[in-house]
Structure 1
Amino acid sequence: MGKLNQCVADMKHYAPIVLLLALCNSLWGQADSGSKNASPFTYSILYKGDWVSSFKGGVKSGSSYAGIATAHLAFDLEKARWWKGGLLQVYLSNTHGQQPSERLVGAYQAVSNIEAGNRTFFQEFWFEQTVGQLSLKLGIQDLNVEFSANDFGSSFINSSFGIQSTFNDNLPASIFPVTGFGGILKWSISAMHTAKIGLFEGNPSCLSIDPWVFRIPFFEKSGTLNIFEYSYSGAIPVGANGFYKLGMYYHNHTSPAQAADTNHAGHNYGFYFVGNQPLYRRSDHSSLNLFTQLSLSPIKQSSNHLYWGVGLSYKGPSWHVPDELGLAFAQARFNESNAPLESVWECFYRYSFGQYFYLQPSAQYIVNPMRFGYPLNDAFLAIVRFGFHFEPR
């Protein structure tokens, strides 16, 4: 009951925000009801919950729960008739529950991509201005939204299929749940080619909604994370358009003391590749999709110097078109001589209930769980995720 009460207490942060979103949207619509898309405000409420059960291996057998609720607000300055190309977006999140990767499995690659303990914070809070083929985004950002994003792996529950494990522990990157301030300049060269460059805080800290936690970005001299990505979208011999991303990053601290405080090397760098390729698509909107991932970092500066992953997802496998079925494999390699790798297998099935709800059972098999620097017995676990996504139309 204690955890439930804490969850309810944390969720009270959302009540005034949800009411504000609805009020803004309603008032603007009444002020200009003659236009079909009069309101510059859009908002949505999302919830995901994972019930995780470990049956063998790892740290111990047992069950735990992790959840995340997110309130999203967007304000389009062009629709508000302020100026063209401006967009403001806010994502306020509350995570609650336990962390099964540490408590049950001992996995280096987090078995649930929403586990983050009990906290309420601005996951993202940024402004973007677009002028022609260029756009500039400034604010609190999740790096993985713009860089190294694996669209075809986003439905998998293990975190490595969303972003390569080399980002998570080798350097303090601005990635959920610890996001920080950053700037991204994007150049849409053509419909097929895009280039992005980003500058982020070198040691981001999670931002609470309590105002006294806010601080001046980069003021603490914690270094920077610089990242570049080139992406290509186009058809290859199999026929359907694919998405291919190639990127590199460089992270540095400004002092040995800062590096010691964060338990990371004074500098680090790496390269990554993400490939998303539909193998076929049908007129009934069903498709078979393939993704591949690869990332490399220097051995001397990295505990996890190599990651690779591959997976298949099939959307619309039955008469129920929104359904999705997936199977994927990932492997992270380490410097430890006693167990140099951790491997993950995951399969899932996602079933949608109407417009807003879905249920997603998943199974994972972890070979050599390595969170604690030494191998544990192979772990087998099952996860049942349920989700809710409400967005007024």
Structure 2
Amino acid sequence: MKFRPALFHLSARCLRETRRTALVVALGMTTAASAQEASQRDAADDVNTPLSSAANIGQQSVGALLPEPLASWNGLRPALAKKGLTFAFTYQSDPMANVSGGLKTGPAYIGRVQAVANFDPEPLTGWKGALFQVSTYQIHGVGLTGAFIGSYAAVSDIEALATTRLNEVWVEQKLTDWLSLRIGQLAVDSEFFLSPYLGIGIGGTFGWPPIATANLPGGGVVYPFATPAARLKITPSESVALLAAVFNGDPAGPGVGDPQKRNPYGLNFRIMDAPFAIAEAQIKYGADTAPGTLRIGAWSHFGRFADERFSSDGRSIWDPNGSGAPLQHSGDFSVYGVLDRQVLQKPDKTDDGVFAFGRIAWAPPDRNIIDFYADGGLSFQGMVPDRPADQFAFLATFARVSPAARAADLDANFFLGQRRPAHTFESILEATYSYKAATGLLVQPSLQYVIHPGGGADPHDPLRPIPNALVVGVRTTIQY
């Protein structure tokens, strides 16, 4: 079937941790430059700062609650930090349930441990401006999306194949005050097409959305994947940053079934696939009382992509008299924009207030399942009396199934004599509240309403539309 079923993409589409998760991990590192700081250290006032309200919650780890010998590993951790070696650990768990609609109702549990190690060689060797990083995941449980929802976007941004896998391994060198180069095994979604304000969303779509993950080989070089790559960053001024990167374009390699099973441990290190290139300009704007950032970018994949409707002889792929082999296109691309701003600032604490954010993206409709995507929302930080670290947000998304893919559905009805529903769009609404229960412990209930999961048609039964789904869950994050 040419219109690829939603479930085929779900495991490949599970998105890498959102900006919030990366920042929470980084903020657990209290003894040296954090992982997020490392990616921004070449510009003290990078356009990604000030950090979002999502990043400002739970800035201390649970180590602060432990006796000193346990918190410091009996003095080993600060001793290693003085030598340039630091560690951070984060555990996140997502018990969730689909209470109505979707493919079926029921509960599921997914959990993930992330470990990050940074090494600054300067204290030991005098090598200045360099940073090494290694990060890994231990993922356990089963996500809710595939068996219960059937949506293009995962309802949890930590959903992935249960395994222990290597994530990113890189070295970054600061070449000048305004230029840095990072090489190694990288993930696209660690720096591109992001807004820090979107980080509070638990849904995977608020990391890298389905206009990329549903369209690219293996779901793209995003969570839980990373591939060999090189990234260049230029910061000509305090308000402007320019990023460009080239990745191996298929993290799992060709094959059928779940791409994560073809690269289950993150050790494939593929280098011969068609490349994926991306570039982004980040521009800080607005006064100090209403700061914001505009990001404009584009990506291009240099592989071959099957047409969503037509075969190589120009007939519909559903035409029994046609060749049946999809028309092949050379390359794929997308353009996007991200806009965020603090729209209300508390007079007594400028980092708190109300934050607005949104993203928009377009891709060619002839070779992509999703050709248009938009999301956005409002986040409220420090607005609850006597709860300065708490945060709540309302978010919404819209992913449009391309006209070519919808037309293929109608062709199928014509040639097969069926009355299957045409795929239209998928939209997700989320409301969430992040509660700082204790130092290093966050509890975050979430409510998601998935409209037209998988574009509205059941991948198991094309004649049956998928009902809208209501998902409830509570995320727990422990930082150390």
TM-score for both structures, normalised by structure 2: 0.69
Residue 344 of structure 2 aligns with which residue? 280
Q: 1:295, 1:24 → 2: CA distance? A: 50
Corresponding residue of 1:162:
207
1:233 aligns with 2:284: yes
Q: 1:208 to 1:334 in 2, by over 3 A?
A: closer
Higher mean C-alpha deviation, range 194-203 or range 366-375: 366-375
Residue aligning to 1:323: 390
Change (3 A) 1:265 1:111: farther
Is contact 1:251–1:268 with CA below 8 Å preserved after alignment? yes
Deviation at 1:25, TM superposition (A): 8.1
* Paired residue secondary structure (2:189): helix
1:136 maps to what in 2?
A: 181
Structure having the higher Rg: 2
- One-letter code of the match for 2:447? A
Give the 3 Å change call, closer, same or farther, for CA 25–217 of structure 1 in structure 2. Answer: farther
Instruction: Please list the CA deviations of residues 170-208 of structure 1 after superposition, one character each: whole Å capped at 9, or x if unmatched.
Output: 113210012211110000111001111100011113666
Question: What's the CA shift string for 1:262-282, capped at 9, x where partnerless?
Answer: x99652100011112111222
**Which residues of 2 match residues 145-184 of structure 1 at below 5 A?**
145-172=190-217, 173-184=220-231
Flag structure 1 segments of 5+ consecutive residues without an equivalent: 1-21, 31-36, 257-262
Asked if the contact 1:150–1:163 (Cα under 8 Å) also holds between the matched residues in 2, the reply is no
**CA pair 384-247 structure 1, distance change in 2 beyond 3 A:** same
Structure-2 change in CA distance of 1:163 and 1:150 (3 Å): farther
Per-residue deviation, 1:163: 2.0
- Structure-to-structure mapping, 1:40-189, within 5 angstroms: 40-132=84-176, 133-172=178-217, 173-189=220-236
1:353 deviates by: 2.1
Identity %: 25
Shift of 1:253: 2.0
Q: Distance in 2 between matches of 1:23 and 1:186?
A: 36
Q: How many residues align?
A: 351
CA distance in 2, matches of 1:215, 1:105: 30
- Using a 3 Å threshold, how does the CA distance of structure 1 residues 265 and 321 change in structure 2: closer, same or farther? farther
Task: Say whether the 8 Å CA contact 2:274–2:302 is kept in structure 1.
Answer: yes
The answer to whether the 8 Å contact 1:53/1:381 transfers is yes
8 Å Cα contact 2:182/2:230 also seen in 1 = yes
- Give the Cα–Cα distance (whole angstroms) in 2 for the partners of residues 301 and 167 of structure 1: 12
> Displacement, 1:365?
0.4
Deviations 1:297-341 (A, max 9, x none): 000111001100110000112211110100011010003431311
SS of the equivalent of 2:436 reads strand
Does structure 1 residue 26 correspond to structure 2 residue 26?
Answer: no
Note the 1:295-374 alignment, pairs <5 A.
Answer: 295-318=361-384, 319-335=386-402, 336-337=405-406, 338-370=422-454
How many angstroms apart in 2 are the aligned matches of 1:28 and 1:185? 32
Q: Is the 8 A contact 1:25 1:42 kept in 2?
A: no
Matches of 1:255 and 1:385, distance apart in 2: 37
Aligned-residue RMSD, C-alpha: 2.4
C-alpha separation in 2, matches of 1:46 and 1:178:
18
Opposite residue 83 of structure 2, the aligned amino acid is S
* Cα 1:116/1:255, change in 2 over 3 Å: closer
In the alignment, is the contact (CA less than 8 A) between 1:198 and 1:226 conserved in 2? Answer: yes
The residue type paired with residue 244 of structure 2 is I
Shifted more, 113-122 versus 200-209: the winner is 200-209
Q: TM-score, normalised by structure 1?
A: 0.84
Partner in structure 2 of residue 12 of structure 1: none
Q: Looking at both structures, which has the greater relative contact order when contacts are Cα pairs under 8 Å and sequence separation is at least 6?
A: 2
Higher strand share: 1
- Asked if 1:246 corresponds to 2:313, the answer is no
The Cα offsets for residues 241-291 of structure 1, whole Å up to 9 and x where unpaired, read as: 1111100011022799xxxxxx99652100011112111222334221011
User: Structure 2: any 5+ residue segments left out of the alignment?
Assistant: 1-71, 253-259, 307-326, 407-421
Structure 2 residue identity aligned to 1:370: G
